Amino acid sequence: MALAKTYTPADVEAKWYQRWQEQGFFKAKPNPRKPAYSVVIPPPNVTGVLHMGHMLNNTIQDVLVRRARMQGKEACWVPGTDHASIATEAKVVALLKEQGINKRDLTREEFLKHAWDWKEKYGGIILEQLKKLGASCDWDRTRFTMEPEMTEAVMRVFVDLHQKGQIYRGVRMVNWDPQGQTAISDEEVIAKDVTGKMYHLRYEVVGQEGQYLTVATSRPETIMADVAVALNPNDERYNHLHGQKVHIPLLGREIPLILDEYVAIDFGTGALKVTPAHDLNDYELGLKHNLAVIDILNNDGTLNEKAVLYVGQDRFAARKQITKDLQEAGLLDKIEEYQSVLQTSERTGAVIEPRLSLQWFCKMDQMAKPALAAVETDEIKLHPPKFKNMYRVWMENVHDWCISRQLWWGQRIPAWYLPDGSFVVALNEEEALKLARQKTGNENLALTDIHQDEDVLDTWFSSWLWPISVFDGFKDPDNADVNYFYPTNDLVTAPEILFFWVARMIMAGLEYRKEVPFRNVYLTGIVRDDQGRKMSKQLGNSPDPLDLIAQYGADGVRTGMLFSAPAGNDLLFDIKLVEQGRNFTNKLWNAFRLTQGWEVNQDLPFASEKAVEWFGARLQETLVQLDEHFEKFRMNDALLTVYKLVWDDFCSVYLEMVKPAYQQPIDAETLKHTIGYFETLLKLLHPFMPFITEELWHELAPRGAKEYVCVAPWPKLTPVAGSADILSRMTTVLDVVAGIRNVRNQKNIGPSKPLVVAAKTEEQELLAAYAPIIKKLANVSELSFVHEGLTGAVSFVQGASEFFIPLEGHIDLAAERVRIEKEIEYNRGFLESVLKKLSNEKFVQNAKPDVIERERQKQADAEAKIAALEQSLASL
């Protein structure tokens, strides 16, 4: 069947993806005869759909995996999804609300049934979408962080770390999300620069009616939780107040003035209200000075009875009301605007409330030390290495990890509480009951006498085990999969989760396998629009990836994403890059169609030896460059290297060198080499453009049942003798061709008109040997060699050689002289006006330096143009 004139991605993508799966090419199993290559997917949220960040991340993973598979490695790419406690629970709660159901009216079991129903219906859509992109995952290995085996692994780790004293329960200051009504980790907090307000409040000094101390705060609604006002003992302004007390505005309660050098003298008024329940630094001050703790907020961010005032109001509504009341009472001195940072929840967007809360924590300091050393010594390499500093700072200042979440969807904390308030930690309730009986000495204790902790674990507490748990390394630490595929090779992820996922996986790997979980971490940038904004649905600046694939084809989108995606640097997405990717697929398609249109004559001699020799050397040079780019994870450089080899060298030069004259046959040897080169190029392109390469691979030659480019051997480096000289000679030849073509452009001589060229050169032997290529590429009818220049000819210099092209018969010499003379006259007039301006002292004294510099540049450009025109005129 004849090959279609144009490449239509929709006609081939589904076909080849299905065949790859039917052939089992993506499946991996331990194979001692092959080196292992394994990658675990950063599990997208089960609530997620494909976005531009996923496109970039998974394209890079697929390039690495496909190349490894072609290199003869047992390539295993493990897919899966994350249960995403906060995001999924919010989705289910919203869905129930639409049905008129309130979560609070359900039991935990009833809610979880709804959640699992939602997961089965909507969860994992993104994995199906990744298939459209061409992701070559081993889909039989798909995992979910809340499946039974994964949950069992989480329970085992929790129990083990608790027994080691690494996990504990205590009251600590946490980041509280009032909308999600749960604690979240530092890494799930998004800081936003905002213009805030500083309220200057008047606290009356006890026993000194009419005497006030002004205290500046950004949160006047929390004054009801004040337990002290702190002053710096070195602040002489307040010496007379040492040992005094003040009244809280509106509330009237007396609180002491305390002294602490922590207070900044030059910030605000130098007087700091101390609210231990609602600020981490205040909490530390409270511990130091043995102050009381008054928590005035409910879980949902409304004020409780301890506030006395504004009970039941939302914190921000209370802020508006108290501002008004303070003003009316004459207790508000002023309000100032200042640049502030607002802490918000990554999941819900709600403003975070620092809050004392009884939670479960995991100690990180000891586990962080070997994890830091693994990166510092390059046992794990970060790409690009600039992220080492960020990693170091985080790991040297690590805090205990708050691992409990006040949710129902997730892995429930394996702690059971006894009637006396104490608890036991166990893998399951049967073991918990056994431990409870041992602890109490009461063998009659029943399951109904103990109850499990209501909280679930932070989602990251399951995903930090991902590289081990996907291979069932906790269920059976010595199983064949984990022994063969662990540690994995490369991790592709985003810098913003370097600490709270990547670092924690390293800790878990060293803790439970005594080995790092991966060797390389490739950190992608953020996909931004042409204005530099992060792409998001909220801004409406992000195209739908599936629409892009439908319009431009998966290969076009993949290459478009990679064209400007250097590691660790943000990608400024431009639809023109995807168009360029699509154009590349069309270029490849048309190049193949060109070769298929040639008839072969077995009796013709080998006519393209120089071209074949050159492209072979160029191909080997590219393989060296390509291996280096892959080794250093320069993915966009790798793609551009192959792109230039295919578009510039093969399509634009090599095929032009070897293609036969119109309706003439090609010799068999040239065609054999050309098809061989095309086959090699398809292999090099396959990791980047899997679909079109598979289609052309099967069009190129008859293939066996298992002969797919998907599993074809990656081209091996085979050095070409004298390749440096071969490449150098062809560079000289192509420069000569470019010079001739440039003359055509300058003199408006069409490419179909043959030119006569004479060369004054010391490289006559070289140019004579390559004369057929020069004649063919530049449409030269005669190439001769002279000792003196030719009159009535245009000349150009290339290296140490000068080339002459007689123009008689190609252009009207008299008319060309008139045209050049007029252009010289015009440019001299222009130059005169510029010089006149620059000789004007008043202009030079008053004009800005950049304006003067532009005029001088105009002068230089005009002078250069006049000189070139005069030379052209002389040559005529």
Measure the CA–CA gap between 588 and 692, rounded to whole angstroms. Answer: 9
Comparing CA positions, the residue from 363, 345, 445, 440 lying closest to residue 403 is: 363
Considering the domain architecture, whether residues 200 and 340 belong to the same structural domain is answered as yes
Q: What is the CATH number of the domain that holds 122?
A: 3.40.50.620
Specify the pLDDT at position 574: 85
Considering the domain architecture, whether residues 326 and 345 belong to the same structural domain is answered as yes
Among residues 783, 811, 839, the one where a domain terminates is: 811
Q: What is the CATH number of the domain that holds 770?
A: 3.30.2320.20
Measure the CA–CA gap between 484 and 74, rounded to whole angstroms. Answer: 10
Report residue 660: phi and psi, to 5°. -75, 160
Considering the domain architecture, whether residues 21 and 152 belong to the same structural domain is answered as yes
Specify the pLDDT at position 599: 94
Considering the domain architecture, whether residues 192 and 312 belong to the same structural domain is answered as yes
Measure the CA–CA gap between 563 and 628, rounded to whole angstroms. Answer: 18
Considering the domain architecture, whether residues 845 and 774 belong to the same structural domain is answered as no
Please provide the DSSP assignment of 175-205 as one string.
EEETTTTEEE-GGGEEEEEEEEEEEEEEEEB
Q: How many domains does the chain have?
A: 5
**Residue found by looking up tokens 């995952």 in the block:** 137
The reply to whether 819 falls in a domain is yes
Considering the domain architecture, whether residues 627 and 508 belong to the same structural domain is answered as no
Considering the domain architecture, whether residues 516 and 593 belong to the same structural domain is answered as no
Considering the domain architecture, whether residues 669 and 761 belong to the same structural domain is answered as no
Measure the CA–CA gap between 438 and 586, rounded to whole angstroms. Answer: 74
Q: Is 333 helix (H, G, I), strand (E, B) or coil?
A: strand
The residue range of the domain holding 857 is: 814-875
The reply to whether 514 falls in a domain is yes
CA angle 713, 718, 722 (to 5 degrees): 155
Give the chain's length. Answer: 876
Please provide the DSSP assignment of 204-228 as one string.
EBTT-TT-EEEEEES-GGGGGG--E
Among residues 760, 788, 811, the one where a domain terminates is: 811
Specify the pLDDT at position 867: 80
Specify the DSSP class assigned to residue 410: S
pTM of the model: 0.85
Q: Mean pLDDT, consecutive 10-residue segments, the chain of 876 residues? A: 83 96 98 97 90 91 98 98 91 93 94 95 90 97 97 98 97 89 83 92 94 95 96 95 96 96 91 93 93 94 96 96 96 93 87 91 96 98 94 93 94 96 95 95 93 96 97 97 98 91 97 97 87 72 89 96 77 88 96 94 94 97 96 94 97 96 93 97 98 97 95 94 94 95 88 92 94 95 90 82 83 73 87 88 83 88 80 70
The reply to whether 289 falls in a domain is yes
Q: What tokens does 34 get?
A: 């092959």
The reply to whether 113 falls in a domain is yes
Considering the domain architecture, whether residues 738 and 697 belong to the same structural domain is answered as no
Measure the CA–CA gap between 334 and 352, rounded to whole angstroms. Answer: 26
The binding site for ATP consists of 537
Q: Is 807 helix (H, G, I), strand (E, B) or coil?
A: coil
Distances (CA, A) of 548 to 541, 560, 691, 693, 849: 14, 10, 16, 20, 47
The reply to whether 219 falls in a domain is yes
**β-pair type (415-417, 423-425):** antiparallel
Considering the domain architecture, whether residues 789 and 772 belong to the same structural domain is answered as yes
Distances (CA, A) of 589 to 7, 618, 677, 692, 699: 6, 22, 15, 8, 11
The binding site consists of 537
Considering the domain architecture, whether residues 89 and 16 belong to the same structural domain is answered as yes
Measure the CA–CA gap between 395 and 381, rounded to whole angstroms. Answer: 16
The reply to whether 436 falls in a domain is no
Considering the domain architecture, whether residues 745 and 627 belong to the same structural domain is answered as no
**β-pair type (254-259, 271-274):** unpaired
Q: What is the CATH number of the domain that holds 255?
A: 3.90.740.10
